[in-house]
Amino acid sequence: MFRTPTSTLRLQLLAVHGIGPETADSILLYAGNHPVFVVDAYTRRILQRHGLANGKESYEEIRRLVEKSLPNDPQLFNEFHALIVHTGKNFCRARAPLCSQCALQTFLPKSVEGSR
């Protein structure tokens, strides 16, 4: 199954009832080692707070943004997503974010930085 080209396999996975983009991409990246970035709530929140997204982008728009910004490497996508999850869980939380303790704090727009 994982020898199938990424775009074809992704469409096949999305055609399965109950499998959406995040699940399909997780299967492709983590089980199949395909170069696909997984977008989740942490990714959206971090990009939005850093002014790289406005919150209205579709899943595909965010996925394309990340994929075009990084080398096409499944190991890199895997590690990058793990770092996003760590940052989202521990610092860029939905409630009570800890911006002042986050390594990404220096990259926050001034409008966000002052409100945290």
CATH number at residue 16: 1.10.1670.10
Helix (H, G, I), strand (E, B) or coil at 44: helix
In a domain, 1, yes or no: no
32 neighbors 7 (Cβ within 8 angstroms): no
Domain contains 89: yes
Neighbour tally for 85: CB within 10 Å: 15
Q: Are 43 and 62 in contact (CB under 8 A)?
A: yes
pLDDT in tens, the chain (116 residues): 999 999 999 999 999 999 999 999 999 999 999 999 999 999 999 999 999 999 999 999 999 999 999 999 999 999 999 999 999 999 999 999 999 999 999 999 876 654 55
Q: Which pLDDT does position 111 carry in this prediction? A: 67
The whole domain housing 24 covers 6-113
Return the pLDDT at 114: 47
- Total structural domains within the chain: 1
Q: What is the pTM of this model?
A: 0.89
Q: Assess if residue 105 is contained within a domain.
A: yes
Longest distance between any two alpha carbons in the chain, whole Å: 49
